[in-house]
């Protein structure tokens, strides 16, 4: 994304900023619970660029389901906030970054959220179509094929990214890992719907993620940080 000059929604790990740049754009948004993603898109809108450092980061992943679900809910809610903020005035966005980058901002900020919200609905539609297939054979068959094709294609793309990313990081995948991918996808859908509920009822609730819980993390001097 950096090489192509795309707007980059930053993650919360291993970022390096120029102090004068942060001061010029008034720093992070204190009301956005994925403030780094918002900052990355705001940098692009204000004419700044982000580059990638050829290095690795070793942030500890959540090691319990509750911790993971809280973190994912916060991420998804923050993505919703980011999309609402940056897409609320499309004409201004196009004027600032041009049509191509404006379209990228829209796609980047909404893709994960919209797909996670729609997947359960698509599954329901497929279930209804299968149930009504004998009764309304000709009218539901096309819908069934279209919905099934969308779900299949999205799953294949995500699996391909998982396999390629693992290959580049020299991580060996086992066949037993793949069922976990689908379980993870279902959990992401649940976290996204919960994030939508939170957005309406507690938009500024910040679910902290505790780090430094594994043995490897506790050996590092910064092991008790939270993000």
Q: Which pLDDT score is estimated for 185?
A: 87
Neighbours of 124 (CB within 10 A): 11
Residue located via tokens 């660029």: 49
What is the Cα–Cα distance from 35 to 30, expressed in whole angstroms? Answer: 7
Task: Supply the pLDDT for residue 134.
Answer: 59
**Confidence band, pLDDT 50/70/90 cuts, at residue 224:** very low
Higher-confidence position of 10 and 122: 10
More confident residue, 18 or 1: 18
Question: Token digits for 70?
Answer: 């809280």
Return the pLDDT at 32: 92
Smallest CA-to-CA distance from 77 within 186, 194, 185, 208 is with 194
Q: Give the pLDDT confidence score for residue 199 in this predicted structure.
A: 94
pLDDT of 13 higher than 60? yes
pLDDT of residue 72: 93
Contact (CB, 8 A) for 5 and 11 = no
User: How far, in Å, CA of 42 to CA of 22, rounded?
Assistant: 11
Average pLDDT, integer, range 18-36: 91
Q: How is residue 12 written in tokens? A: 């919360």
pLDDT attached to residue 138? 58
The tens digit of pLDDT for each residue in 192-216 reads 999 999 999 999 888 887 777 766 5
Q: What are phi and psi of 226, to 5 degrees?
A: -125, 150
How far apart (Å, rounded) are the C-alpha atoms in residues 5 and 1?
A: 6
Output the pTM of the full model. Answer: 0.81
Query: Is the pLDDT assigned to residue 129 strictly greater than 90?
Result: no
87-123: string of b/e by CB count within 10 Å (b at 16+)?
eeeeeebeeebeeebbebbeebbbebbebbbbbeebe
Average pLDDT on 115-138 reads 73
Residues 136-145 pLDDT 10s: 555 566 767 7
Distance CA 28, CA 113 (A): 22
Q: What are phi and psi of 11, to 5 degrees?
A: -85, 180
What is d(CA 219, CA 214) in angstroms, rounded to the nearest whole number? 9
For residue 221, pLDDT beyond 80: no
What's the pLDDT band for 217 if we cut at 50, 70, 90?
Answer: low
Can you give the pLDDT at residue 182? 85
CA distance 35 to 39: 6
Tokens 């995500």 appear where?
158
CA distance 126 to 103: 30
Per-residue pLDDT, 147: 74
Which has more confidence, 57 or 42?
A: 42
Nearest 5°: the CA angle 196, 118, 103 is 85
Question: Which of the four pLDDT bands, split at 50, 70 and 90, describes residue 105?
Answer: confident
Task: Please tell me the predicted confidence (pLDDT) of residue 135.
Answer: 57
| Run of H or E residues at 84 | helix 65-86
Percent with pLDDT over 70 in the chain:
88
Residue 179 in this model has a pLDDT that exceeds 60? yes
Helix (H) or strand (E) holding 3: none
Contact yes or no for 81/34 (Cβ under 8 A): yes
């Amino acid at each position: 994304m950096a090489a192509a000059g795309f707007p980059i929604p930053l993650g919360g790990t291993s970022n390096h900023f120029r102090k004068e740049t942060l001061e010029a754009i008034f720093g992070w948004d204190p009301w956005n619970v994925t403030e780094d993603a918002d900052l990355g898109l705001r940098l692009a809108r204000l004419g700044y660029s982000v580059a990638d450092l050829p290095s690795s980061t070793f942030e500890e992943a959540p090691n319990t389901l509750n911790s993971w679900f809280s973190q994912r809910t916060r991420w998804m809610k923050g993505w919703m906030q980011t999309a609402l903020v940056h897409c609320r005035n499309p004409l201004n966005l196009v004027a600032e970054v041009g049509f191509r980058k404006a379209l990228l901002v829209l796609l980047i900020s909404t893709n994960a959220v919209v797909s996670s919200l729609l997947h359960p609905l698509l599954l329901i539609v497929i279930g209804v179509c299968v149930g009504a297939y004998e009764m309304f054979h000709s009218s539901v068959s096309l819908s069934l094929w279209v919905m099934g094709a969308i779900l299949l294609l999205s799953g294949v793309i995500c699996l391909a990214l998982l396999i390629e990313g693992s290959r580049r990081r020299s991580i060996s995948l086992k066949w037993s890992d793949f069922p976990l991918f689908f379980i993870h996808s279902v959990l992401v859908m649940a976290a996204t719907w919960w994030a939508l509920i939170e957005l309406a009822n507690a938009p500024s609730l910040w679910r902290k993620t505790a780090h430094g819980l594994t043995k490897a993390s506790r050996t590092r001097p910064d092991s008790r940080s939270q993000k």
